[in-house]
Amino acid sequence: MKSTLRAGLTFGLTSGVITTLGLMVGLHAGTHSRLVVVGGILTIAIADAFSDALGMHVAQEAENQHSVRGIWESTATTFLAKFLVALTFLVPVALWSLETAILASVLWGLALLAVLSLQMAKEQRVPPWKVIGEHLAIAIIVVTVTHYVGDWIRENLG
């Protein structure tokens, strides 16, 4: 896979998982509202996907090492990966109770990160457990912190 496509795909997938899970868990803890969680997911899928795509675009331009076509490939791939990954989190919310959907979403997101991390470890010829462990630990920290922030907001500002 071309490096520009790989950059957009890995960044978009990772950001899609981490950002969407963090927002979902925080909004659920703070509101317990399906409507608010769905609105958050759609906001991430649209606004944050565009934001990340522009960020990737500017970062690639700043490196001054990529062709214009390569820069746009990274931009488009980042947007599509983030947009589509974020939308997958709507499925459990549509199918199950919000509590079950949040748990299923966390498991789904961690599985996506684990598969991506395993693939990266194989390509880099490094022990998979190190890469997977590092990436999942960061995701779990984000989920945990946003849960407690949502709890704090509900208890103190709700």
pLDDT band at 158 (very low <50, low <70, confident <90, very high): confident
The C-alpha atoms of residue 37 and residue 45 are separated, in whole angstroms, by 12
Q: What is the pLDDT of residues 60-106, one digit of tens each?
A: 999 999 999 999 999 999 999 999 999 999 999 999 999 999 999 99
- Scan for tokens 């925080």, then name that residue: 26
Overall domain count for the chain:
1
**pTM of this structure:** 0.95
Find the mean pLDDT for residues 136-155.
98
Distances 120 to 41, 49, 124, 131 between C-alpha atoms, Å? 27, 22, 6, 8
Other beta carbons within 10 angstroms of residue 43's beta carbon come to 14
pLDDT tens sequence across 21-38:
999 999 999 999 999 999
Q: Residue 66's pLDDT is what?
A: 92
Tens digit of pLDDT for each residue in 5-19?
A: 999 999 999 999 999
Q: Which domain holds residue 26?
A: 3-157
pLDDT at 1: 77
pLDDT at 110 over 90: yes
Q: Can you tell me the mean pLDDT for 139-158?
A: 97
Q: What is the pLDDT of residues 115-129, one digit of tens each?
A: 999 999 999 999 999
Residue with tokens 């690639």: 60
